[in-house]
Amino acid sequence: AGVGAGNPGGGKPCGGRVVFKVDNSFSKTRRKLVKVKLVLESVNLELLELEAQEVAQEVEAERFELSELKAAVLREVEHDPEGYLDNDLNLRRFLDARPTLKESVTMLSNTLRWRNRAHYFRPGGCPSCLAVPGTHMFRQIGFDRERRPVAFLSLTQVLARVRNHYDLYDMVVHVVNLLEQGHKTMEPGAAVGFTWIMDLQGMTWADCRLVSRLVKELERGHVRDEASGKK
């Protein structure tokens, strides 16, 4: 069968449509195959439209959840000077960490109070390391295969002259800023979390006690729900 004007054996234009003239070469079997192909293409288009609608509904539902969480937290804690709640990734982590919105609100409210009270976050980075590079032992060195930030710890690389004069507050400031900067470098859709590589050669009991105090301070209201005691 031919299609279009000017083709002696082809189709003829008719009211803006093309009318096929079927000859013996366009067999019944071939016509059936064409019909089946058209039906399949139509079904595929409908499935794609349904999938697009489902994705749009999921995105809209997630936006609603995030806005509900943010509004509820701001009713509990009025001030967010750092703009912590403006980051959707922060909100999503707290929604995923608890089974209900109420529990997520409690956890995130405690974190925001902790941040506002302690003032650990410094936009320019750790002041001690800026003043004396090599003061602290933690630093980000790249990403793993899941695109999570990789943090490296090496006690042997810490300057000996400052290691015996560590201050807990300075340590918390350094780690908090490391985590903050790491989260900012995470790509959308990447696995949430950090990969830690630690070289503990030369670690002493004094170092262990300091690290223990550091972890307790980081847990307090930041990654622990104080009301329930859950991590």
How confident is the model over 131-173, as pLDDT tens digits? 877 778 788 999 998 888 999 988 777 756 566 666 778 888 8
Chain-centre distance for alpha carbon 218: 21
Does residue 229 surpass a pLDDT of 50?
Answer: no
Q: What is the pLDDT of residues 53-67, one digit of tens each?
A: 777 777 788 888 999
Share of the chain above pLDDT 70, in %: 73
| CA 161 – CA 135 distance, rounded (Å) | 9
Residue 32's alpha-carbon distances to 107, 143, 157, in angstroms, are 62, 54, 75
- Looking at 72-81, 91-100, 218-227, which range is the least confident one? 218-227
> How would residue 6 be classed by pLDDT, with cut points 50, 70 and 90?
very low
| Closest by CA position to 72, among listed 31, 115, 104 | 104
Residue 74 has pLDDT above 50, yes or no: yes
Match 């804690």 to its residue by tokens.
77
The tens digit of pLDDT for each residue in 10-55 reads 444 445 554 444 444 556 666 666 666 766 677 677 777 777 777 7
